[in-house]
């Protein structure tokens, strides 16, 4: 049985750069996390400089029950974060999230619910703040210039001792890579059949996987501006990916037919 640790011990797992920063407190009300002061009084929305406290004061307030937890604000803070939602199920991290974790190589921790992951960065990138982008069967929220993100002190295994990497570069890199696929993935997830194909479950809909490949390519192509490179990359991310799809002649033939039949 794992040894139970105190709130302070858990939060002291946070990187020293975060622990030395000014933080905020939050309370939970009506299913929402609202910024609060050390006495648990709700503050106004974070559209101006939020009321911040040092790490020790923040933890003390949580220990006394005056706040549900602590958060990292982004307004003029010099920090940024990628909030990966719906990427952990039964303790298993989704492949798309593992890819982003490896690409970031920055401190990362599980969200309060345990179904998401927060990747923290130093630096403010030029990305749309609070932009939600569909990825895999989940999504990413990018935080750069406003709002706040909860801190749990529950690091993802292998990322507990990672330094905060340069978000100005990496956040932009991740955003530019996932953004082109966002609308296609969103549309796929709204269509029951295409959602099944995305997960690799084609048998209930087609006699062969090749037919499923063709149908999927034809569906997503308009949302990718009929760009062959993007189409190839999206299928490679899906559950339809297999050794046959890795053959250049098969990919070309399938995409050629799908675009001809549009």
pLDDT at 102: 96
Q: What is the pLDDT of residue 228?
A: 95
Q: What is the pLDDT of residue 43?
A: 66
Q: pLDDT under 50 in the chain at which residues?
A: 46-48
pLDDT tens for 216-246 read 999 999 999 999 999 999 999 999 999 999 9
Question: Token pair 């030029």 is at which residue?
Answer: 126
pLDDT in tens, 1-25: 557 889 999 999 999 999 999 999 9
* pLDDT given for residue 147 in this prediction: 86
Q: Which residues contact 194 (CB under 8 A, 6 or more apart)?
A: 187, 188, 216, 219, 220
Q: Residue 250: phi, psi to the nearest 5?
A: -70, -45
Rounded Cα–Cα distance for residues 94 and 76 (Å):
32
Q: Provide the pairing of β-strand 108-110 with 92-93.
A: unpaired
**Per-residue confidence (pLDDT) for residue 49, from 0 to 100:** 53
Q: Tell me if 101 sits within 8 A of 159, measured CB to CB.
A: yes
Predicted pLDDT of residue 86: 95
Q: How far is CA 183 from the centre of its chain?
A: 16
Q: What is the pLDDT of residue 146?
A: 86
Find the largest Cα–Cα distance for the chain.
Answer: 66
């Amino acid at each position: 049985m794992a040894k139970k640790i105190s709130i302070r011990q858990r939060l002291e797992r946070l990187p020293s750069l975060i622990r030395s920063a000014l933080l905020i407190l939050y309370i939970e009300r009506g299913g929402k996390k609202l910024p609060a002061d050390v006495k648990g009084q709700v503050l106004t929305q974070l559209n101006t400089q939020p009321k911040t406290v040092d790490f020790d004061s923040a933890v003390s307030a949580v220990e006394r029950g005056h706040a549900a937890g602590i958060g990292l604000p982004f307004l003029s803070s010099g920090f940024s974060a990628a909030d990966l939602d719906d990427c952990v199920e039964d303790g298993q991290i989704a492949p798309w999230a593992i890819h982003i974790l490896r690409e970031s190589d920055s401190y990362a921790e599980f969200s309060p619910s345990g179904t998401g992951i927060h990747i923290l960065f130093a630096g403010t990138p030029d990305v749309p703040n609070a932009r939600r982008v569909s990825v895999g069967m989940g999504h990413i929220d990018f935080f750069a210039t406003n709002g706040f993100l909860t801190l749990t002190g529950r690091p993802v295994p292998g990322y507990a001792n990672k330094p905060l990497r340069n978000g100005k570069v990496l956040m932009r890199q991740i955003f530019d890579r996932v953004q082109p696929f966002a609308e296609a993935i969103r549309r796929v997830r709204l269509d029951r059949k295409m959602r099944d194909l995305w997960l690799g479950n084609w048998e209930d809909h087609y006699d062969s996987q090749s037919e499923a490949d063709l149908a999927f390519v034809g569906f997503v192509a308009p949302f990718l501006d009929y760009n062959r490179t993007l189409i190839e990359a999206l299928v490679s991310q899906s559950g339809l990916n297999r050794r046959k799809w890795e053959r250049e002649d098969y990919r070309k033939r399938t995409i050629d037919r799908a675009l001809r039949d549009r």
